[in-house]
Chain A
Amino acid sequence: MAIDNHGERDTRQTLAPAVGAPPANVVRSRGEGEDNTVLEIKDLTIDFASVDGRVRILNGVSLTAKRGEVVGIVGESGSGKTTLGMAILGLLDSPPANIVSGSITFEGRDLLKLKSAEMEKIHGTGINMVFQEPLDSLNPVYTVETQIAESLKVQRKRQNPPIARETEGETKKLITDLLRNLCIDKPEEVLERYPHELSGGMRQRVAISISTIEKPRLMISDEPTTGLDAYVQNRILGMFSAQRKAGETLLYVTHDLTIASQICDRIYIMYAGRVMEAGETRSVLQEPLHPYTSTLVASVPQGFEDAPPLSVQLGEPPDLRNLPSGCKFNPRCPYAKDVCKETEPKLEEILGRRHAACWRVDKELGKFS
């Protein structure tokens, strides 16, 4: 399949659900490093001003994503995963947000230093985001068709050289096919509706189609399949896999480990605005190093009614306004030692393959001790 970032991709092929590894021979776009790194976040720290003073939402987060890679950001509410996505897109309002330190490099350019006009050109076809709450991201006064067609128009205009726009009929067919691909029944009827007339799952799929039709080089999806049925969820994940095959990079934000284990090449486990563990998905989920990762894995219900209770520690999610000293997970951690309560561990490389921020992980042995 021919892929050219400055040309048109075959829509049908891109949309067909397929599963597979990232392609070897993709054309590199400008500014991309030798190692195909599309996105590199270094030591990102973000504060939010609130009535209780400054609250640190992200603390020294570093992350990389290569071309054609699906990178999972896994964490629970308040872990800062959504803020991370918004920061990449430059959507955080300042104030209240304040980027204290760090850099976000996309295709060789530091996004934090770009002017808003330059950033706008990256939005849509460069970086795109599917938000968790689709009602907030859709325009209430336009029909579904108008909104998807608008994205398509932008996509066509930004190609170099620009591609002639499809006729109205062609556009309609393209959009209908896309919606049908997302298991939307009677897409012709849906096209004429307004966002408020659709169910939550339907809106989410419309939002996804708006993002995918722009064929961004980096797509951030924030819990895109939450609340959708297993069947539709599979279809959407299949579509994402196909996009990855076409050389798109995907940042997949979720709290659902079963989804992450399906489509992510690498995952970052976040807790209280920090990366607790990172590495290749399979190894992280099969042999978690950090106790927090183990908690998450143990929380996935397995077995039948007569199965033993799920082994999870009690305790509430962290309150960012009032974090404990030392390791932020220590109040919920069953293995916490004295040092965990005093000093915060750094995210360190373990055996060259993985990263974990835990005092109890032995760096030489690569094991939890």
Chain B
Amino acid sequence: MGNLVEIEHLTVAFRSKRREGLFHSGPSLKALDDVSLTIGENETFGLTGETGSGKSTLAKVLVALYKPTSGTVRFLGREIDYKNRKDIAFLRQNVGIVFQDPVRSLNPSLTVKEVITEALIAAKSIPKKDYDERISFITKLVGVTKDLLPRRPRELSGGQRQRISLARALVVPKRLLVLDEPTSALDVSIQAQVLNTLKKLKSELNMSYLFITHDINVIKYVSHRLGVLFYGRLVEVGDTRTVDTEPKHPYTQSLISHVLTLKKVGLQETVISEHRPAPTGCRYRIVCPAAFERCAAVPSWVNLGDGHLVSCFLYDHQSRMENQALLPTAAGQVGSLRAPPHESS
């Protein structure tokens, strides 16, 4: 499986408007800090993290709504120069996006058909005579019936609106679809229908997904691989099943232990009162129960095998050599921390 998207050392910084003055700009805030990840062909990459962790920023970089401050984005092997219009057009031709809010992301004054047609016009690559054919093909696939086409978004239910967003994103064939919390605004039964549709679409249209959500139950159900963001930094990446059953980073462990399921009984006691990132070093170290002196530096990636990567000092070579005895103690505090397998990079 080749890589469709390769993101290396991506940093996106914003200038904070707070404390901005006439002669000095506000402090800069890194929404994404040195994030590297790849999305394979036909793969669903799940990205999770809490509010403000930079999930949506990453989504917007992939459709060139934000420009990277530093770092590179390669799409189909081509490095995207965000100052070059052709590169941006290339990116947008191949990447579709579906936003969280189906009300605000559809133009209220256009009919459903016009909304979808706009995407075809913008693409420029499709001859006009094929429009109707494309529209009927895609609407059938996403489950929008013909009688909805002349209606306007306000006349439709949330699930229908989200299907139309999907149809708009996919009416021009795409290689990657970015789904930014596509089901969080929907009711559970509608969410289930949309998730089923998304899975079906992916196998029929031969594309990759970047699926962004804070709902771990949903992300587990849809994604092959999973990345966990904490305040702009990726802390763990790996096969979804591995990350879910054997989370390594203390943050991932905390996140997964707090997930509610129908079967789980009793709430997880939350001991941490303040949940804030550290300005330097490992961002999680202020709240991390296993933090030690070395965490003041930025941890490098440790390969635990099978593409399971974790950015934590607990697992690197030095920790294992020096603190063989220390590790179990730290593990006791964190819960299911276990000694990592014997391979590291």
Q: Is B187 part of the binding interface, using a Cβ–Cβ cutoff of 8 Å?
A: yes
CB distance from A283 to the nearest CB of B (A): 13
Q: Is B191 part of the binding interface, using a Cβ–Cβ cutoff of 8 Å?
A: yes
* Pairs of residues from A and B, 10 with the lowest C-beta to C-beta distance, nearest first: A301-B221, A229-B50, A76-B187, A299-B192, A185-B276, A258-B260, A310-B192, A299-B188, A230-B258, A312-B192
CB distance from B279 to the nearest CB of A (A): 13
Q: Is B129 part of the binding interface, using a Cβ–Cβ cutoff of 8 Å?
A: no
B221 lies within 8 A of A234 (CB): no
Interface size on B, residues (CB 8 A): 51
Complex alpha-carbon distance, A261 and B261, angstroms: 8
CB distance from B13 to the nearest CB of A (A): 19
A231 lies within 8 A of B267 (CB): no
Q: Is A169 part of the binding interface, using a Cβ–Cβ cutoff of 8 Å?
A: no
A304 lies within 8 A of B240 (CB): yes
Complex alpha-carbon distance, A231 and B272, angstroms: 10
Q: Chain B residues near A185: list those with CB within 8 A.
A: 274-276
Complex alpha-carbon distance, A307 and B220, angstroms: 10
Q: Chain B residues near A312: list those with CB within 8 A.
A: 189, 192-193, 196
Given contacts A230-B214, A235-B270, A259-B260, contact A305 B157 (CB under 8 A): no
Complex alpha-carbon distance, A309 and B196, angstroms: 6
User: Chain B: residues with CB nearer than 8 A to chain A?
Assistant: 44, 50-52, 143, 157-160, 184, 187-193, 195-196, 199-200, 214, 216-218, 220-224, 240-241, 244, 254-255, 258-262, 264, 266-270, 272-276
B184 lies within 8 A of A227 (CB): yes
- Which A-chain residue is minimally distant from B218 (CB atoms)? A301
9 contacts between A and B (CB under 8 A): A76-B187, A183-B272, A230-B214, A231-B258, A238-B267, A300-B262, A303-B220, A304-B244, A305-B240
- Which B-chain residue is minimally distant from A187 (CB atoms)? B274
Complex alpha-carbon distance, A259 and B261, angstroms: 8
Complex alpha-carbon distance, A310 and B266, angstroms: 25
B187 lies within 8 A of A301 (CB): no
Q: Is A31 part of the binding interface, using a Cβ–Cβ cutoff of 8 Å?
A: no
Q: Is A160 part of the binding interface, using a Cβ–Cβ cutoff of 8 Å?
A: no
CB distance from A75 to the nearest CB of B (A): 9
Complex alpha-carbon distance, A234 and B196, angstroms: 28
| Chain-B contact segment, one of A37-45, A49-57, A290-298, A357-365 | A290-298
Complex alpha-carbon distance, A287 and B220, angstroms: 25
B158 lies within 8 A of A77 (CB): yes
Q: Which of A200, A201, A230, A307 has the most CB of B within 10 A?
A: A230
User: Chain A: residues with CB nearer than 8 A to chain B?
Assistant: 17, 19, 76-77, 180-181, 183, 185-186, 199-201, 227-235, 237-238, 241, 255-259, 261-263, 285, 295-305, 307, 309-310, 312, 314, 316-317
B187 lies within 8 A of A230 (CB): no
Given contacts A19-B266, A301-B192, contact A231 B51 (CB under 8 A): no
Which residue in A186, A229, A257, A302 is a CB contact (below 8 Å) of B51? A229
CB distance from B134 to the nearest CB of A (A): 24
Complex alpha-carbon distance, A239 and B53, angstroms: 25
CB distance from A314 to the nearest CB of B (A): 7
A305 lies within 8 A of B189 (CB): no
B189 lies within 8 A of A234 (CB): no
B217 lies within 8 A of A234 (CB): no
Q: Chain B residues near A257: list those with CB within 8 A.
A: 188, 262
Which residue in A19, A76, A256 is a CB contact (below 8 Å) of B189? A76
B241 lies within 8 A of A304 (CB): yes
- Which A-chain residue is minimally distant from B224 (CB atoms)? A305
Q: Chain B residues near A241: list those with CB within 8 A.
A: 267
Q: Chain A residues near B254: list those with CB within 8 A.
A: 231
Starting from the known contacts A232-B50, A299-B188, A310-B192, 5 additional A-B residue pairs (CB-CB under 8 Å) come to A76-B187, A233-B260, A295-B189, A296-B188, A299-B191
Q: Chain B residues near A228: list those with CB within 8 A.
A: 51
A76 lies within 8 A of B255 (CB): no
Complex alpha-carbon distance, A304 and B223, angstroms: 8
A310 lies within 8 A of B50 (CB): no
Which residue in B193, B259, B269 is a CB contact (below 8 Å) of A230? B259
B157 lies within 8 A of A317 (CB): yes
- Which B-chain residue is minimally distant from A19 (CB atoms)? B267
CB distance from B215 to the nearest CB of A (A): 8
A231 lies within 8 A of B221 (CB): no
Q: Chain B residues near A298: list those with CB within 8 A.
A: 192
B261 lies within 8 A of A258 (CB): yes
Complex alpha-carbon distance, A301 and B240, angstroms: 14
Complex alpha-carbon distance, A338 and B196, angstroms: 30
A230 lies within 8 A of B241 (CB): no
Which residue in B51, B216, B241, B264 is a CB contact (below 8 Å) of A199? B51
B274 lies within 8 A of A180 (CB): yes
Q: Chain A residues near B258: list those with CB within 8 A.
A: 230-231, 233-234
Q: Chain B residues near A295: list those with CB within 8 A.
A: 189
- Which B-chain residue is minimally distant from A181 (CB atoms)? B273
Given contacts A296-B188, A316-B160, contact A234 B270 (CB under 8 A): yes
Q: Chain A residues near B189: list those with CB within 8 A.
A: 76, 295-296, 299, 312, 317
B188 lies within 8 A of A234 (CB): no
B270 lies within 8 A of A17 (CB): yes
Q: Chain B residues near A201: list those with CB within 8 A.
A: 51
Q: Chain B residues near A302: list those with CB within 8 A.
A: 217, 221, 261-262
Q: Chain B residues near A255: list those with CB within 8 A.
A: 187-188
Complex alpha-carbon distance, A256 and B214, angstroms: 14
Given contacts A199-B52, A300-B262, contact A305 B222 (CB under 8 A): yes
CB distance from B255 to the nearest CB of A (A): 6
Complex alpha-carbon distance, A257 and B158, angstroms: 19
Q: Chain B residues near A285: list those with CB within 8 A.
A: 262
A305 lies within 8 A of B217 (CB): no
Complex alpha-carbon distance, A302 and B266, angstroms: 19
Q: Chain A residues near B261: list those with CB within 8 A.
A: 258, 300, 302
CB distance from B26 to the nearest CB of A (A): 14
Complex alpha-carbon distance, A183 and B51, angstroms: 13
Complex alpha-carbon distance, A286 and B260, angstroms: 16
CB distance from A262 to the nearest CB of B (A): 6
Q: Chain A residues near B192: list those with CB within 8 A.
A: 298-301, 310, 312
Complex alpha-carbon distance, A100 and B222, angstroms: 46
